[in-house]
Structure 1
Amino acid sequence: MTQNFNNNLSIVQNLKIGRVFVFFLMASCSASALASDWRTVLEEELIQRWQTLTNGQDSAAVSFVGIRSDYQLPDCQHRPDIRIQKALQPGRNGIELGCSKPYWQQHFAVQLHVYQNVITLRTALRSNELVQPHHIHQTRQDIGQLNKGFYTRTDEVVGLQIKRSLRPGTVLNPDMLELPQLVKRGQHVAIRLKRPGIQVEMEGTALASGHKGQRIRVRNNQSQKVISATVIARDLVQVQ
């Protein structure tokens, strides 16, 4: 009876020892995997974090900045901790890898490439031209490289005015576009005076250019008085 109990105890102990061995073997393999192929592990981790942030809406990739292709991490008895110095974003990110046993820290710069369909010029446009639907289309771009911004919808740019001449293939950004000038400095305009139950118009001269909704100075050609008015349409300003 005692011999059977000892045998059973030996089996239980062996199972426990086996489980502990498997645990340390898996931990060792995990740490070893990161040490031998740390770029792939880090890339997968960052992409997974980005997919979580965006609910999987964007495709992404990672490249390493200024790191030799044969560089390997120092030894670590566990999987090194991965810390992102700031909120993960498209473009360059600062990454810190750290180990507590033995203690070390490594800092890297990685480029997070995030790809989206953005509005791009199909044809060349000259300064002051208005963007029309046939001028543009969508192309897939790395938005981490688009530091000045971008558009993703055609209705965001159609009807806007080009500030300077642009070539085909240009990714449109807010610095390139503005609301169209409906009134130009020096031109004759109609000044509309609107009050409850009353609306009259008189001739005037614009003393500044302006787009819809912008307030500019105009001169009443009859009284020569300079007033402030809001551009509401081409060659038309309104005084409330």
Structure 2
Amino acid sequence: MLRHRRSLRRLRHAARLLAMALLLAGPSHAAESAGDEVLLAKVNDFLLERAARPGDKAGDEVTVEVHPPRAALPTCPEPDIFLPRAADRPAGRVAVGVRCGDDGRVRYLQAEISVTGHYVTLAREVRAGETIRPADLTLVAGRLDRLPRQAVLDLDRAIGQQATRTLAAGQTLQRYHLRTRPLVRRGQQVVIEARGAGFRVTRNGEALAAGGRGERIRVRLAGREILEARIVGEGRLAVDF
């Protein structure tokens, strides 16, 4: 009986010590938790800013989920947050570096960035060399961060271009699937136009290279003079002043 009472007193004493330890540790633990939340919020804002672009279309949506660290992070009023791997637009699963304090130590957090918007697919099979028309394309809504890096997101980027290869119906269109449709052929007789304040002059010449709209090529004039001009239409070029 005496042993039982002594054991009971020891258990009660241990319980009191444990309760005191929890009370003393409570405020510090709460402060650390609050500090983690503030830092995670700053990392979240940093990634949202990097993942979004001013030219994004209406309807595009960016969401960020920062995974909490296993160990508590140090108090860091002004963290230096950076992406270890530079990217034009971070997406998918990324690592985020946080440099804090005078010791220069870096902690790494994991985050998931999802970007939802529209991208371009083929409405029908397009043969290599065909000029792509609006009816050939479909705009699809989905996760942009899961697409290939060269996925085409704008219909205007594809319309009027030529297919570099045969493309299947339903295929996601990528930039390397397209090339500028030639408006001028090498050796073709072309018209070169020069404009200025109050004047407009046209000359005939021979294209020394092929090219598409907006490209600059060399042209030989009738007097054998060679100049550079910008392609503005079918067999038409312009000289900029």
- Farther off after superposition, 52-61 or 134-143: 52-61
Which residue number corresponds to residue 176 of structure 1? 177
Pairing partner for 2:70 from 70, 73, 88: 73
Alpha-carbon distance change, 239 to 105 in structure 1, aligned in 2, over 3 angstroms: closer
Which residue number corresponds to residue 227 of structure 1? 226
Instruction: Measure how far apart 1:201 and its partner are.
Output: 4.5
Name the % identity: 21
Which residue number corresponds to residue 13 of structure 2? none
One-letter amino acid of the structure 2 residue matched with residue 119 of structure 1: V
Which residue number corresponds to residue 213 of structure 1? 214
Which residue number corresponds to residue 131 of structure 2? 130
Kept after mapping to 1: 8 A contact 2:62/2:113? no
Which residue number corresponds to residue 58 of structure 1? 61
Report the TM-score, using the length of structure 2 for normalisation: 0.55
Instruction: Measure how far apart 1:147 and its partner are.
Output: 5.2
Instruction: Measure how far apart 1:209 and its partner are.
Output: 0.4
Within 1, Cα distance between the matches of 2:120 and 2:63? Answer: 19
Alpha-carbon distance change, 61 to 123 in structure 1, aligned in 2, over 3 angstroms: farther
Alpha-carbon distance change, 134 to 89 in structure 1, aligned in 2, over 3 angstroms: same
Instruction: Measure how far apart 1:225 and its partner are.
Output: 1.4
Deviations 1:139-159 (A, max 9, x none): 233323445344433233322
Question: Structure 2 matches for 1:41-190, cutoff 5 A?
Answer: 58=61, 60=63, 73=70, 76=72, 85-86=82-83, 89-95=90-96, 107-146=108-147, 148-186=149-187, 188-190=188-190
Within 2, Cα distance between the matches of 1:105 and 1:216? Answer: 51
Alpha-carbon distance change, 60 to 120 in structure 1, aligned in 2, over 3 angstroms: farther
One-letter amino acid of the structure 1 residue matched with residue 130 of structure 2: E
Deviations 1:59-108 (A, max 9, x none): 536598xxxxxxx935x5x899898542983134214689xxxxx98645
One-letter amino acid of the structure 1 residue matched with residue 70 of structure 2: L
Deviations 1:44-64 (A, max 9, x none): 997777568759951536598
Kept after mapping to 2: 8 A contact 1:62/1:112? yes
Alpha-carbon distance change, 192 to 114 in structure 1, aligned in 2, over 3 angstroms: closer
Kept after mapping to 2: 8 A contact 1:125/1:165? yes
Alpha-carbon distance change, 159 to 57 in structure 1, aligned in 2, over 3 angstroms: closer
Matched residue count = 199
Alpha-carbon distance change, 27 to 96 in structure 1, aligned in 2, over 3 angstroms: farther
Kept after mapping to 2: 8 A contact 1:148/1:174? no
Within 2, Cα distance between the matches of 1:140 and 1:28? Answer: 44
Kept after mapping to 2: 8 A contact 1:120/1:138? yes
Within 1, Cα distance between the matches of 2:184 and 2:208? Answer: 10
Consecutive unaligned residues of structure 2, counting only runs of 5 or more, are: 1-21, 34-39, 100-104
One-letter amino acid of the structure 1 residue matched with residue 185 of structure 2: K
| Secondary structure of 2:121's aligned partner | strand
Instruction: Measure how far apart 1:226 and its partner are.
Output: 5.0
